[in-house]
Structure 1
Amino acid sequence: MGFIQLHQITKFFNQDFKPAVDSVDLDIEKGEIITLLGPSGCGKTTTLRMIAGFEQPSVGKIQIGDLVVHNDSRSLPPEKRGIGMVFQDYALFPHLTIEKNVMFGLKKMNTREKRKRVKEVLELVGLDDYGRRFPHELSGGQQQRVALARALAPRPHVVLMDEPFSNLDAGLREKMRFEITNILRKANTTAIIVTHDQKDAFAVSDRVVVMNDGVIQQIATPKEMYRCPKNCFVAQFVGKTNLLTGTLCQDLKHVDTHIGKVCLPQRTENLLDQVKVSIRPEGCHLVEQGRYTGKVERVTYSGEYQEVELRLPSETGVAEPMVIYAPVEQEVEVGSVVSFDIKPELVALVD
């Protein structure tokens, strides 16, 4: 039994249309950092808002610890759920100092207790010298840490964060992923984060929940999800991939595709004839005498690697497109024919 339990959570905004969130089951352990990941309109923010109490499920049950916060007969208001919320725009009060912003939610403490708690959480987020400043005097990353400190101050059961990195530039975004994760770990706080960015989700999460059309597609650790995506949607959403259709060979270890046999990382129990395989571009490496050959159509330099788009001859007579990554120091010319092999570790069967 998880510390936070969502059972068959469904949300209709209009009964004439399909639900925004459809029969979601999710168990979250105490101290775990979970990310709801998916494209716009997939239901992730609606799920977060139902946990917070800002939206009411049409059907289902939500339990936090021993407390049922929503079922068919009752629904607790947000302030009674033991939840800390960090909004996308941080929602700091511009006319209040940082100390007073953090102190805002500490209703049941006396003045001395409030000051002590504010000092504790500002130290936790590394802003203990900024208490007398105002929000406009802080950077975006510092404002985000203030918002997190305010959410943590009342010692909530869980902290909810809605797109916490979306307002930050690339350099600060990477820094804040580490800092936010570090703060949550130190506080031993259970957290649920919503994002549409795969890098954000993978950098901060113990487990990632991929959603699409209101339905959970897969729940897994970042490594497991990337290496073993459950279906085509997950494979394409959590990074680039090549999807090939083929026939499973009798050894259950190879798939016969239009470009030739592709080796799986291990034998499968999947006995279907027609299957799809996901091949990550970084699982393909250029060699002089490789199993596969293709003509280079385009090369895109990304800084960390070169993205090489190929056309491979196939049994159907139609050239099969393929994307592979090549080291930046390797010379790859458009129009040339290159040879490569595929690492089985980054090949997966998908639904």
Structure 2
Amino acid sequence: MSFIQLSQLTKAFKNAETPAVNQIDLKIEKGEIITLLGPSGCGKTTTLRMLAGFEQPTSGSIYIGDRVVYDDRTYIPPEKRGIGMVFQDYALFPHLTIEKNIMFGLNKWSTRAKKERAKEVLELVGLDGYGKRYPNELSGGQQQRVALARALAPRPHVVLMDEPFSNLDAGLRERMRYDVTTILRKADKTAIIVTHDQKDAFAVSDRVVVMNEGIIQQIASPREMYRCPKNCFVAQFVGKTNLLTGTLCSDMKHVDTYIGRVSLPEQSQFPVEDVRISIRPEGCRLAENGMYSGRVERVTYGGEYQEVEVRLGDQNVSSQPMVVYAPIEQEIEVGSVISFDITPELVALVEA
């Protein structure tokens, strides 16, 4: 049996037209780092709160380890579930030292054991010697580490983190993704993180769970999620993409679209004639005599690449232009004609 198991978990709030979380099933193995990813209102935070015990499900069951913490006959309160929680705003007590913030949840421990454990987790998060300081004396990244240290102090079964990187600037955010992952691996903890940011999810996760309107859309590794999105929602939410409709050819390996014939990475297993495909912008490689060509309508500089919007010859004026990523050093002007090839490995058949 999986370490954490959610079965048919549902939460319907009073007066809401649809459930916030709708009969989701999720299995998490011990030591995994999982991210719940999706837009605001998709049900990811409600799922986290039900797992923590802060929100009572309408129906379904929750197992942690070999113990049921919620079903139609059982409700284990939050403090008895063996869960460490890191809140979005860190929720540190400003009037307490860092050491006392970490010791706060160790109610049944002796004073000596509390101090020893606080020292241990501060060393784990790279803040050895910071115990006598106060939260306002620390940077945002250091405060986040303290919040994580406090969550780890009682030796929980699982750590839950709600939007842990949202309050950090871009440079610190990238650093903290690495630090948080490293700390969780060292502590050998199972973790579930909630975020709406694809880069956060991909950087820290073993697997990503994409949610929308209370329903799980796809569960996959970051690589698989990006290269093989299951449906149009996932393809568009997880990075940029070009969505095209077309007809699957008889060889089951090519799709005829308005931009021409596009190769799939492998033969389709589903003999459906009318299909939809996702083509990632970086899968469109500029080539002097490429198979596809069109006129440049817009160029946006993204620092690491140029985002080029291209209107192909027979493309309907009302439809979205193709988005192609071009090397930053290449001179591309609006109005010019460019050619490109499409890498099959970044093409995927998707559901509507």
AA aligned to 1:83 is I
Alpha-carbon deviations, 1:49-69, whole Å to 9, x = none? 000000000000000001110
The answer to whether 1:50 aligns with 2:54 is no
2: CA distance between counterparts of 1:79 and 1:318?
Answer: 56
Identical aligned residues as a percent: 75
Cα distance, 1:113 vs. partner? 1.2
Q: Pairwise mapping of residues 329-344 of structure 1 onto structure 2 (< 5 A)?
A: 329-344=329-344
AA aligned to 1:105 is G
1: CA distance between counterparts of 2:137 and 2:70?
Answer: 40
Q: Pairwise mapping of residues 89-128 of structure 1 onto structure 2 (< 5 A)?
A: 89-128=89-128
CA pair 106-320 structure 1, distance change in 2 beyond 3 A: closer
2: CA distance between counterparts of 1:111 and 1:71?
Answer: 37
The answer to whether 1:323 aligns with 2:323 is yes
1: CA distance between counterparts of 2:283 and 2:306?
Answer: 13
2: CA distance between counterparts of 1:56 and 1:319?
Answer: 45
> SS of the counterpart of 1:246?
strand
Identify the residue that residue 146 of structure 1 maps to in structure 2: 146
Identify the residue that residue 264 of structure 1 maps to in structure 2: 264
> SS of the counterpart of 1:267?
coil
**1:259/1:320 contact within 8 Å kept:** no
Q: Pairwise mapping of residues 79-98 of structure 1 onto structure 2 (< 5 A)?
A: 79-98=79-98
Alpha carbon RMSD of aligned pairs, Å?
1.1
**1:312/1:319 contact within 8 Å kept:** no
Q: TM-score, normalised by structure 1?
A: 0.98
Cα distance, 1:320 vs. partner? 6.1
Counting matched residue pairs gives 351
Alpha-carbon deviations, 1:29-74, whole Å to 9, x = none? 0000000000000000000000000000000000000111000012
Q: Pairwise mapping of residues 187-202 of structure 1 onto structure 2 (< 5 A)?
A: 187-202=187-202
Identify the residue that residue 250 of structure 2 maps to in structure 1: 250
**1:313/1:320 contact within 8 Å kept:** no
**1:36/1:195 contact within 8 Å kept:** yes
AA aligned to 2:80 is K
Cα distance, 1:110 vs. partner? 1.0
Cα distance, 1:16 vs. partner? 5.4
> SS of the counterpart of 2:272?
coil
AA aligned to 1:27 is K
Identify the residue that residue 223 of structure 1 maps to in structure 2: 223
Cα distance, 1:314 vs. partner? 2.5
Cα distance, 1:92 vs. partner? 0.2
CA pair 80-319 structure 1, distance change in 2 beyond 3 A: closer
Identify the residue that residue 26 of structure 1 maps to in structure 2: 26
Cα distance, 1:317 vs. partner? 8.4
Cα distance, 1:318 vs. partner? 7.0
Q: Pairwise mapping of residues 304-323 of structure 1 onto structure 2 (< 5 A)?
A: 304-314=304-314, 321-323=321-323
CA pair 41-16 structure 1, distance change in 2 beyond 3 A: closer
Identify the residue that residue 206 of structure 2 maps to in structure 1: 206
Identify the residue that residue 17 of structure 1 maps to in structure 2: 17
CA pair 318-164 structure 1, distance change in 2 beyond 3 A: closer
1: CA distance between counterparts of 2:91 and 2:32?
Answer: 25
CA pair 115-330 structure 1, distance change in 2 beyond 3 A: same
> SS of the counterpart of 1:172?
helix
Alpha-carbon deviations, 1:141-161, whole Å to 9, x = none? 000000000000000000000
Identify the residue that residue 177 of structure 1 maps to in structure 2: 177
**1:314/1:320 contact within 8 Å kept:** no
2: CA distance between counterparts of 1:7 and 1:150?
Answer: 30
Cα distance, 1:273 vs. partner? 0.4
> SS of the counterpart of 1:118?
helix
Give unpaired runs (5+ residues) of structure 1.
Answer: none
AA aligned to 1:158 is V
AA aligned to 1:304 is E
Give unpaired runs (5+ residues) of structure 2.
Answer: none
1: CA distance between counterparts of 2:119 and 2:6?
Answer: 34
Identify the residue that residue 65 of structure 2 maps to in structure 1: 65
2: CA distance between counterparts of 1:16 and 1:243?
Answer: 32
Alpha-carbon deviations, 1:78-128, whole Å to 9, x = none? 001000000000000000000000011112211121111111100000001
AA aligned to 2:151 is A
AA aligned to 2:336 is S
2: CA distance between counterparts of 1:213 and 1:319?
Answer: 27
AA aligned to 1:270 is F
> SS of the counterpart of 1:223?
helix
> SS of the counterpart of 2:74?
coil
AA aligned to 1:252 is M
> SS of the counterpart of 1:339?
strand
